[in-house]
């Protein structure tokens, strides 16, 4: 996927040249799952797979959207709230709706992307951040990268109807090459932490199970509601207000299911900080153990893994990964593993063979590198 592909697609569709091309990366979350909407810590990085949008302003209020996904051109009037059945087009239309006070007309846009959809790599945030960056430029809105990330989150919450936190959009906006973004979702403070994988011959392998997930479905929402109920019962504004020292009291106060949901978030916050510390010390063995502990917590306490994800994690460890875990919202999507570059082919072959033996869909296994955030490309 490239600037040229986006430009050509735009010109072919609309019959004139775009004003520019903007892009934003998908993201992989190294550790810190379902902590963001609990005001906790997350540690994602932008991946070297991106969504590109070629875009031009219009003098009227019409928005026209097209993409490599479909031959159809979606048309909508700026400022109207969109119906919920527009599929991928809902994400860019949602961003335009949130930014409507800055608008000085509609726009034509053409999208192309190599971020896998439904894999837990935040293809939606890549669309939102690419569009927000483009509209910030053409509408001269003057928004900061962090403000654009929050606009993307609002689009997902208020228009798409997915109750997600701000991790995905923050990672897609603020990412840097060879680094991950430690985000404190309470203070909104960020720290770029060098990963140091390349110098060790390591890569992050993505094992996309091809079990598609959707954040707007009920499983994600019920987890969020359990966390909010647990925090309220414990007398805190969010689970960020609790530490592992509070777990015995929480176990007394909460029903068994709510306790396990809250336990995952509370312990995951600690794992994120420990993972950052391990990376800064170059302690890959400890980092690997934290990834495995995170996966076990999501499998057993938060119950958002599926058998394909559990299998992928096990297979990565069998071929010698440093550590592995599912990534993203759960109920499908991808697992990640930190592994030696030389073992990528073996990992891919092993996953495909065992998945076939178990009757699962063939997984897509590939390496990603930490890459820069949203930008104007042309």
| 11 membership: H or E segment, kind and range | helix 3-14
Question: Where does a domain end: 193, 221, 239?
Answer: 193
DSSP class of 320: T
Residue 117 belongs to some domain of the structure: yes
Q: What is the pLDDT of residue 69?
A: 84
User: Are 144 and 374 contacting, i.e. CB atoms less than 8 angstroms apart?
Assistant: no
User: Are 215 and 121 contacting, i.e. CB atoms less than 8 angstroms apart?
Assistant: no
Question: Where does a domain end: 151, 166, 193?
Answer: 193
Q: Is 168 a catalytic residue?
A: yes
Tokens standing for residue 136: 């910030």
Residue 348 belongs to some domain of the structure: yes
Residue 377 belongs to some domain of the structure: no
Give 338-348 pLDDT, tens digit per residue: 999 999 999 99
User: Are 179 and 275 contained in the same domain?
Assistant: no
The structural domain count of the chain equals: 2
Residue 374 belongs to some domain of the structure: no
Q: Where are the beta strands (DSSP E) in 32-189?
A: 41-57, 62-67, 74-77, 107-113, 179-184
CATH code for position 64: 3.30.230.10
Question: Where does a domain end: 169, 193, 217?
Answer: 193
- Pick out the chain residues at pLDDT < 50: 216
User: Are 259 and 111 contained in the same domain?
Assistant: no
User: Are 305 and 330 contained in the same domain?
Assistant: yes
- Please provide the DSSP assignment of 221-276 as one string: HHHHHHHHHHHHHTT-SSGGG--GGGHHHHHHHS-HHHHHHHHHHHHHHHHHHHHH
User: Are 34 and 178 contained in the same domain?
Assistant: yes
Options 60, 137, 158, 168, the catalytic residue: 168
CA distance 335 to 324: 7
User: Are 257 and 215 contained in the same domain?
Assistant: yes
| 131 membership: H or E segment, kind and range | helix 123-138
Q: Where are the beta strands (DSSP E) in the chain?
A: 20-31, 41-57, 62-67, 74-77, 107-113, 179-184, 190-194, 202-211, 323-327, 333-340, 364-368, 375-376
Q: What is the pLDDT of residue 88?
A: 87
Q: What is the pLDDT of residue 258?
A: 98
CATH code for position 316: 3.30.70.890
CA distance 283 to 302: 27
User: Are 119 and 212 contained in the same domain?
Assistant: no
Tokens standing for residue 91: 């994400």
Residue 358 belongs to some domain of the structure: yes
User: Are 14 and 58 contained in the same domain?
Assistant: yes
User: Are 53 and 174 contained in the same domain?
Assistant: yes
Give 292-335 pLDDT, tens digit per residue: 999 999 999 999 999 999 999 999 999 999 999 999 888 888 99
User: Are 181 and 218 contained in the same domain?
Assistant: no
User: What is the domain range of residue 213?
Assistant: 196-368
Burial class (CB in 10 A: 0-12, 13-18, 19+), 36: buried
User: Are 153 and 200 contained in the same domain?
Assistant: no
User: Are 126 and 213 contained in the same domain?
Assistant: no
174: nearest Cα among 135, 129, 112: 129
Q: What is the pLDDT of residue 84?
A: 64
Q: What is the pLDDT of residue 216?
A: 46
Burial class (CB in 10 A: 0-12, 13-18, 19+), 283: middle
Task: Provide the sign of the torsion angle of the four alpha carbons 90, 106, 165, 67, taken in this order.
Answer: positive
Claim: this prediction has a pTM higher than 0.75: yes
């Amino acid at each position: 996927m490239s600037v040229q592909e986006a430009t050509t697609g735009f010109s072919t569709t609309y019959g004139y040249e775009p004003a520019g091309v903007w892009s934003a990366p998908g993201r992989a979350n190294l550790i810190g799952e379902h902590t963001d909407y609990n005001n906790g810590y997350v540690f994602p990085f932008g991946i070297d797979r991106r969504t590109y949008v070629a875009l031009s302003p219009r003098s009227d209020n019409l928005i026209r959207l097209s993409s490599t996904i479909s031959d159809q051109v979606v048309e909508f009037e700026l400022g109207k709230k969109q119906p919920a059945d527009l599929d991928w087009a809902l994400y860019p239309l949602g961003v335009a709706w949130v930014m409507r006070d800055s608008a000085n007309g509609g726009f034509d846009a053409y999208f192309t992307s190599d971020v896998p959809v439904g894999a837990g790599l935040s293809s939606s945030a890549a669309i939102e951040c690419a569009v927000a960056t483009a509209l910030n430029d053409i509408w001269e809105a003057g928004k900061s990268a962090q403000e654009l990330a929050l606009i993307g989150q609002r689009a997902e919450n208020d228009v798409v109807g997915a109750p997600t936190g701000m991790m995905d959009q923050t990672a897609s906006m603020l990412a840097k090459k060879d680094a991950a973004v430690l985000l404190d979702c309470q203070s909104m403070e960020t720290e770029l932490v060098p990963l140091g994988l390349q110098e060790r011959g390591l890569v992050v392998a993505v094992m996309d199970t091809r079990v598609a997930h959707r954040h707007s479905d009920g499983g994600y929402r019920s987890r969020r509601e359990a966390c909010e109920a647990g925090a309220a019962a414990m007398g805190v504004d969010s689970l960020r207000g609790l530490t592992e020292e509070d777990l015995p009291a929480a176990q007394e106060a909460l029903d068994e299911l709510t306790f396990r949901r809250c336990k995952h978030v509370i312990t995951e916050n600690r794992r994120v900080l420990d993972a950052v510390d391990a990376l800064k010390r170059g302690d890959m063995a400890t980092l690997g153990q934290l990834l495995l502990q995170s996966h076990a917590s999501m499998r057993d306490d938060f119950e958002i893994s599926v058998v394909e994800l559990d299998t992928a994690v096990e297979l990565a460890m069998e071929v010698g990964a440093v550590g592995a875990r599912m990534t993203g919202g759960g109920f499908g999507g991808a697992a990640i593993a930190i592994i030696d570059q030389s073992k990528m082919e073996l990992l891919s072959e092993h996953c495909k063979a065992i998945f076939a033996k178990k009757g699962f869909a063939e997984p897509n296994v590939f390496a990603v590198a930490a890459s820069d955030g949203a930008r104007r490309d042309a």
